[in-house]
């Protein structure tokens, strides 16, 4: 096999030819290093079921609603988490990403549920028992009702309660955490503001927010999901920074703390004008990598063509169930962009596809993971690949229609049925490379 050093010697023309072929071979054969995290991800609200004390529970039950179906029992994972963990381990994964539902830990402001803290501690213990490293997210979209009632992250009053919650969780289970994210995709509202369809949805979201506020007789009521990123994002960045310090202190720096970011591969329109790409990046990436953080969690699902002030919808290309382009090759491009901009270690904390066709998921994984291997072959510091998602679950406003899971879940019996893609990703995890 041609090794990378042998490419340095030799005549110039030959070196270029060999270099291209050699690089391709090296990339194809690239393996993940020892300790690389392989696994899948999930979020409490999307799988646990019955999270009545969360802001989203109120939103789902508003009329009219932008949610296709309420979350209800979700996957009943709160009661079946041991089975879920055992399943993930059986595929050969060595890591798992999960979130903690703040509204279970602190259902009313200042009222701590020690039972819920003990529950999540037990979940992390189960992961370790099965040889899987826990990657913990403190907020994955949802917040307690009382927090939304106080104005959420639309007011600086939200900063201290969030930092205290992160500190509390770290004190109770920090010894079991491998890596953590303060927020999941706190840049999502900024990212979606570039989507022309979401711009039309903007007034509808504000109408919903006002509807809840009126129904509850509380004009301050603010759910992060519905809030204007121009006001909310700087406050969330401050909240992240304070939580970062709190977790670092409580854990004595034992594990890395970062955020996970929703990032499309953004390309300019055919005229090459980068105005929109750079402006979008300055909103969705730069503010977050300028804040404290030990890594960047990359979450990629697709690509966009970005005009000067909005994405330009693509037509005539294969789409996923979510209505955006099928683009497994986007992950590699996003990792390279983030590595160049952030100069921090990267974990792929989400990547996946909504599809009923599991063979398409297998094909997607193959290309996406090869992209990660290509980055590793080029010396980029990528430390894990966590696929979204372990289970088919509640996909926010789309309800239960999109299927992102490696495992199917019966909506009435909750019986779990692994799909071929689960075993395929497991084989990759065991080999440490694309198979
Ligand atoms: C979110 C997940 C979601 C996934 C698929 C990400 O934006 O973090 O909660 O289910 O994308 O749409």
Quick one: three-class SS letters along 363-380?
HHHHHHHHHHHHHHHCCC
Compute the average pLDDT of residues 353-381: 98
Compute the average pLDDT of residues 254-282: 98
- Residues 59 and 208 sit within 8 Å (Cβ to Cβ): yes
Segment 386-402, tens digit of pLDDT: 999 999 999 999 999 99
Compute the average pLDDT of residues 11-37: 65
Atom of ligand 1 nearest to the CA of 352: 5
Report whether pLDDT(39) > 50.
yes
Ligand 1 atom 10: the closest Cα is on which residue?
Answer: 395
Spacing, Cα 339 to ligand 1 middle (Å): 22
- With vertex at residue 101, the alpha carbon angle to CA 95 and CA 104, rounded to the nearest 5 degrees, is 135
Report whether pLDDT(6) > 50.
no
Spacing, Cα 1 to ligand 1 middle (Å): 40
- Substitution candidate for ligand 1 out of 350, 389, 400, 405 with most atoms within 8 A of CB: 350
350 lines ligand 1 (CB under 6 A): yes
- Residues 300 and 351 sit within 8 Å (Cβ to Cβ): yes
Neighbouring residues of 253: CB distance < 8 A, sequence distance ≥ 6: none
Q: Pick the range with the lowest mean pLDDT from 159-163, 207-211, 423-427.
A: 207-211
Pair of tokens at residue 415: 């019986």
388 lines ligand 1 (CB under 6 A): yes
Report whether pLDDT(179) > 70.
yes
Report whether pLDDT(16) > 50.
no
17 pLDDT band (50/70/90 cuts)?
very low
Closest Cα partner for 242 from 380, 138, 313, 100? 138
Residue 26 confidence (pLDDT): 63
Pair of tokens at residue 19: 């270099």
43 lines ligand 1 (CB under 6 A): yes
- Substitution candidate for ligand 1 out of 198, 353, 388, 402 with most atoms within 8 A of CB: 388
Residue 133 confidence (pLDDT): 98
Residue 134 confidence (pLDDT): 98
Residue 12 confidence (pLDDT): 35
Residue 111 confidence (pLDDT): 98
Report whether pLDDT(23) > 90.
no
Ligand 1 atom 12: the closest Cα is on which residue?
Answer: 395
- Concatenated DSSP letters of 178-233: SEEEEEE-TTHHHHHTT-HHHHHHHHHHHHHHHHHHHHTT-TT---GGGS-HHHHH
354 pLDDT band (50/70/90 cuts)?
very high
Q: What percent of the chain has pLDDT over 90?
A: 86
392 lines ligand 1 (CB under 6 A): no
25 pLDDT band (50/70/90 cuts)?
low
Segment 136-165, tens digit of pLDDT: 999 999 999 999 999 999 999 999 999 999
Segment 89-136, tens digit of pLDDT: 999 999 999 999 999 999 999 999 999 999 999 999 999 999 999 999
Ligand 1 atom 5: the closest Cα is on which residue?
Answer: 395
262 lines ligand 1 (CB under 6 A): yes
207 pLDDT band (50/70/90 cuts)?
confident
Residue 30 confidence (pLDDT): 84
Spacing, Cα 242 to ligand 1 middle (Å): 25
Pair of tokens at residue 160: 């201290």
Alpha-carbon gap, residue 230 to 221, rounded angstroms: 17
Spacing, Cα 185 to ligand 1 middle (Å): 9
- Substitution candidate for ligand 1 out of 322, 395, 400, 402 with most atoms within 8 A of CB: 395
Please state, rounded to an integer, the average pLDDT across all residues of the chain: 93
Report whether pLDDT(374) > 80.
yes
Dihedral over alpha carbons 434, 177, 255, 97 (to 10 degrees): 40
Report whether pLDDT(1) > 90.
no
339 lines ligand 1 (CB under 6 A): no
Spacing, Cα 83 to ligand 1 middle (Å): 22
The answer to whether the peptide bond before residue 389 is cis (omega within 30 degrees of 0) is yes
Report whether pLDDT(29) > 90.
no
393 lines ligand 1 (CB under 6 A): no
201 pLDDT band (50/70/90 cuts)?
low
Residue 28 confidence (pLDDT): 65
Q: Pick the range with the lowest mean pLDDT from 128-132, 223-227, 268-272, 331-335.
A: 223-227
Spacing, Cα 300 to ligand 1 middle (Å): 9
264 lines ligand 1 (CB under 6 A): no
Compute the average pLDDT of residues 4-16: 31
395 lines ligand 1 (CB under 6 A): yes
Helix (H, G, I), strand (E, B) or coil at 416: strand
Q: What percent of the chain has pLDDT over 70?
A: 92
Segment 266-276, tens digit of pLDDT: 999 999 999 99
45 lines ligand 1 (CB under 6 A): no
Ligand 1 atom 7: the closest Cα is on which residue?
Answer: 262
């Amino acid at each position: 096999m041609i090794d990378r050093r042998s490419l340095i010697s030799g005549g110039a023309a030959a070196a270029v030819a060999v270099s291209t072929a050699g690089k391709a071979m090296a990339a194809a054969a690239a393996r993940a290093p020892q300790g690389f995290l392989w696994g899948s991800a999930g979020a409490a609200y999307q799988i646990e079921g019955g999270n009545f004390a969360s802001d989203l529970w109120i939103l789902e039950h508003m009329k009219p609603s932008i949610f296709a179906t309420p979350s209800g029992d979700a996957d009943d994972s709160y009661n079946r988490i041991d089975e879920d963990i055992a399943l993930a381990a059986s595929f050969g994964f060595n890591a798992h990403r999960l979130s903690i539902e703040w509204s279970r830990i602190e259902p009313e402001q200042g009222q701590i549920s020690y039972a819920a803290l003990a529950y999540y501690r037990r979940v992390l213990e189960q992961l370790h028992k099965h040889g899987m490293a826990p990657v913990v997210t403190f907020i994955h979209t949802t917040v307690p009702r009382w927090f939304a009632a106080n104005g959420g992250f639309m007011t600086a009053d939200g900063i201290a309660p969030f930092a205290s919650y992160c500190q509390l969780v770290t004190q109770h289970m920090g010894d079991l955490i491998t890596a953590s994210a303060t927020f999941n995709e706190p840049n999502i509202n900024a990212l979606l503001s570039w989507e022309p369809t979401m711009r039309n949805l903007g007034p509808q979201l504000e109408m919903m927010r006002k509807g809840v506020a009126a129904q509850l007789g509380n004009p301050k009521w603010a759910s992060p999901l519905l809030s204007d990123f121009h006001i909310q994002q700087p406050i969330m960045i401050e909240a992240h920074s304070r939580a970062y310090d709190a977790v670092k202190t409580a854990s004595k720096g034992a594990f890395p703390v970062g955020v996970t970011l929703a990032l499309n591969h953004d390309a300019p329109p055919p005229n090459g004008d980068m105005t929109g790409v750079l402006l979008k990046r300055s909103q969705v990436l730069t503010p977050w990598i300028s804040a404290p953080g030990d890594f960047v969690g990359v979450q990629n699902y697709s690509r966009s063509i970005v005009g000067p002030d909005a994405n330009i919808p693509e037509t005539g290309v294969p789409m996923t169930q979510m209505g955006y382009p099928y683009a497994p090759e986007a992950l590699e491009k996003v990792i390279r962009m983030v590595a160049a901009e952030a100069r921090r270690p990267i974990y792929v904390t989400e990547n996946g596809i909504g599809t009923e066709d599991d063979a398409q998921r297998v094909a997607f994984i193959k290309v996406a993971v090869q992209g990660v291997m290509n980055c590793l072959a080029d010396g980029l510091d990528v430390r894990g690949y966590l696929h979204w998602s372990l289970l088919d679950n509640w996909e926010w406003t789309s309800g239960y229609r999109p299927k992102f899971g490696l495992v199917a879940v019966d909506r009435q019996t909750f019986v779990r049925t692994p799909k071929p893609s689960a075993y395929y990703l497991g084989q990759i995890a065991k080999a440490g490379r694309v198979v």
